[in-house]
Amino acid sequence: MTLSMTGGRARARSQKPMSYSPSSMQLNTRTLVQIIRTQTEIAKLGLDLGGVMGFVAERAHAMMRANGAVIELAEGDEMVYRASSGVCAAQLGLRLKRKGSLSGLCVDMGSVLRCDDSEIDSRVDREACRRVGFRSMMVAPLKHAGISVGVLKVTGAGVAAFNNADAEILELMSEVVAASMFHTARYGTNDLYVQATLDTLTDLPNKALFYDRLRQVFALAQRQATKLGVLFLDVDNLNKINETGGYRAGDAAIKEVGARIRKTARRSDTVARVGDDEFAVILPGVGGLSDVEIQAGRIVETVQAPYSCEERELDLGVSVGMAIYPEAGADITALVACAKKAMADTKRAQAKPKEANVQDAGPKIMPLLTPLLQPMAKPAARVQ
């Protein structure tokens, strides 16, 4: 393994890679056990490459005492955040220019690179480091079919947060991801992109692709001064379905809910599965809040239609939260937070006794609905 570093007084030597033999580095037993456990957990995730990348980002973040971790995939001339943890979590879907970034250089060189101080390292995008919130970092290449297709990156809040032993850990973790890439995408980088961005159970975009598309649609709405709607939806009664029908019934319910939400969507909309029992919808180019309310009501009505799995009737439903740009906030974080809060409020209202639900939730929620939806008592109680 080759390690290239820079920072502080060592900066003058930064262009010359510093190498060492992995065999000379002795990882402690605890670290080796953690890596083995990581491999075991990944085996349980099966062919869900998006889930694997998210899990590895979280595990690398914890194991290396980092303040954040990211898996970036090289897509054309950009590096795209496809999994993130810690201070980097809010940047999921972020796209950065490959040229002029340490991650892009790592892909080109195919070796582990380290930056001890982003403020004085000419290889890094200084402004991007400041924006995300880290001062030092280390990146290891992710190789698929012999080609570097991305990086696993850990970040530190202070100067020189990582050392050579950390580099070996990072390389081992990157190889864990690479092995998963091999098993889930054996037919080239195009297949790899699909596997990394789609949810394996529903075939819908996953959380990483949702935020990628949301950033693009949000930027377009800003440029064109148009409105953008976002829905977050939580599947009702999933725990009860799992308890009474088993996890096969739960998976069937998730798949059916996803299919029904997608059925109601326009061609321009994005429907994604962003959590175990959570979906999200991007509604670009809406005319106003009433358009978002109508779409939310349509989804509620479609999802709650009768459904049976293995001769067992399942009570399907979703609690919906909505938000619209620019009214809900001037950035993606505020927009998503508003929709999630509304979803949580709806979920809490649903959990109240029926009498309280009618008295408390009704007046609060009904004004959001158009006259077309007001007669629909059940959907109305689930839309916020």
pLDDT, tens digit, for every residue of 148-179? 999 999 999 999 999 988 998 899 889 888 87
- Provide the pLDDT for residue 375: 35
Q: Where are the domains of the chain?
A: 2-197, 207-380
Q: Name the pLDDT band for 88 (thresholds 50, 70, 90).
A: very high
The percentage of residues in the chain with a pLDDT greater than 70, rounded to a whole number, is: 81
- Provide the pLDDT for residue 44: 65
Q: Which is nearest to 151 in space by CA: 115, 200, 184? A: 115
CB 206 within 8 Å of CB 50 = yes
- Mean of the pLDDT values across residues 14-18? 40
Taking all residues of the chain, what is their mean pLDDT, rounded to a whole number?
82
pLDDT 10s digits, 295-320: 999 999 999 999 988 778 888 999 99
- Mean of the pLDDT values across residues 47-55? 81
Count, in order, helices (H) and strands (E) of the chain.
Answer: 13, 14
Q: Name the pLDDT band for 294 (thresholds 50, 70, 90).
A: very high
Q: Name the pLDDT band for 354 (thresholds 50, 70, 90).
A: low
Choice among 14-28, 78-92, 363-377 with the minimum mean pLDDT: 363-377
- Across 46-50, 57-61, 243-247, which has the greatest mean pLDDT? 57-61
Query: Containing H/E element for 162?
Result: none
The percentage of residues in the chain with a pLDDT greater than 90, rounded to a whole number, is: 57
Which has the higher per-residue pLDDT, 272 or 27?
272
Q: Biggest alpha carbon distance in the chain?
A: 73
Is the pLDDT confidence value at 138 over 60?
yes
Q: Which residues pair with 113 in a beta bridge?
A: 4, 139
Q: Name the pLDDT band for 372 (thresholds 50, 70, 90).
A: very low
What distance in Å separates the CA atoms of residue 4 and residue 113, rounded to the nearest whole number?
Answer: 5
List all residues 6 or more positions away from 218 whose beta carbon is below 8 Å from its beta carbon: 228, 325, 332, 335
Which has the higher per-residue pLDDT, 18 or 163?
163
What distance in Å separates the CA atoms of residue 372 and residue 84, rounded to the nearest whole number?
Answer: 41
pLDDT 10s digits, 205-235: 999 999 999 999 999 999 999 999 999 999 9
- Provide the pLDDT for residue 27: 62
Is the pLDDT confidence value at 7 over 50?
no
What distance in Å separates the CA atoms of residue 298 and residue 53, rounded to the nearest whole number?
Answer: 34
HSE-CB for 184 with a 13 A CA cutoff: 27
- Provide the pLDDT for residue 251: 93
CATH architecture of 207-380: 2-Layer Sandwich (3.30)
- Provide the pLDDT for residue 142: 93
Is the pLDDT confidence value at 237 over 80?
yes
Question: Could you tell me how far CA 266 lies from the centroid of its own chain?
Answer: 23
The pTM for the full model equals: 0.74
The stretches of the chain forming alpha helices (DSSP H) are: 29-45, 49-63, 102-109, 126-132, 164-184, 189-197, 207-224, 238-264, 289-303, 332-351, 354-356, 362-365, 377-380
Is the pLDDT confidence value at 183 over 50?
yes
Neighbours of 200 (CB within 10 A): 17
What distance in Å separates the CA atoms of residue 264 and residue 271, rounded to the nearest whole number?
Answer: 10
> Rounded to 5 degrees, what are φ and ψ at 319?
-100, 125
Q: Name the pLDDT band for 47 (thresholds 50, 70, 90).
A: low
- Topology adopted by domain 2-197: Beta-Lactamase (3.30.450)
